[in-house]
Amino acid sequence: MTIPSNQSLKQAEKLPSSQAAKLRSSAAQELSSFSSMSTGTLRKYVLLIAGVVLALDRFSKWIISRSIPLHDSVNVIPAFFKLTHVTNGGAAFGLFADSPSELRIVFLIFFSLLALAVVLALLWRHTQGLNSTAVALSLILGGAFGNLWDRVLSGHVVDFLEFYIGQYVWPDFNIADSAIVVGAAILMVEILFAPKHQPAYKEGVIAQPSSEAE
């Protein structure tokens, strides 16, 4: 499908009023159809990215739970990285895991659902193409849903990635945590360093307004 360009819209100005109106109406319909198609395609890619993250997270946790006993470890890179099967009743990287409150899991599920709702709303309204923002939100969506799945079913999350140097150990985490952190980092970089948004007419989608006042 071709996108109505500035040239086609300018040609309408040279035609009789009735033909010009038809041409403008046709151009508007084509542009609306193109935008709808792009939005639908974008959402398919968003769901695909989030689905891949969720599938990797579920599969990796299943493998670890079946192959490594709880609290046991398998060295991968000596003195740097190992797989350790642990459970986390708190948030990402063990935050609030030691809280004695019986409502901890309820609050974590509530805030996870709230975060999912916000991300879904942002993705639903984001129709500018599969750019870094859409990818970042898709990663966060898949990761948040992966950890929410664990909390709802078992009340805790399975963690297994452990990095350490000597006595300094980074809190264990999983694929879902990684996707959330990477997505958040992409959004942060975009906020700090992305150029200002360019008007749509510079991309040839919307006719540039005339500077001459009639």
Annotated catalytic residues are: 159, 177
Own/partner pairs, 58-64, CB within 8 angstroms, 24+ separation: 58/146, 58/149, 60/160, 60/174, 60/175, 61/150, 61/158, 61/160, 61/174, 61/175, 64/158, 64/160
Question: What is the distance of C-alpha 199 from the center of its chain?
Answer: 24
Cβ–Cβ contacts within 10 Å for residue 203, how many?
Answer: 9
Token pair 């990477």 is found at 182
Instruction: Extract the runs of DSSP E, i.e. beta strands, from the chain.
Output: 73-77, 81-88, 157-165, 168-169
Region of residue 208 (left: phi > 0; alpha: psi -120 to 50; beta: else): beta
Cβ–Cβ contacts within 10 Å for residue 150, how many?
Answer: 20
Rounded Cα distance between 74 and 95, Å, is: 24
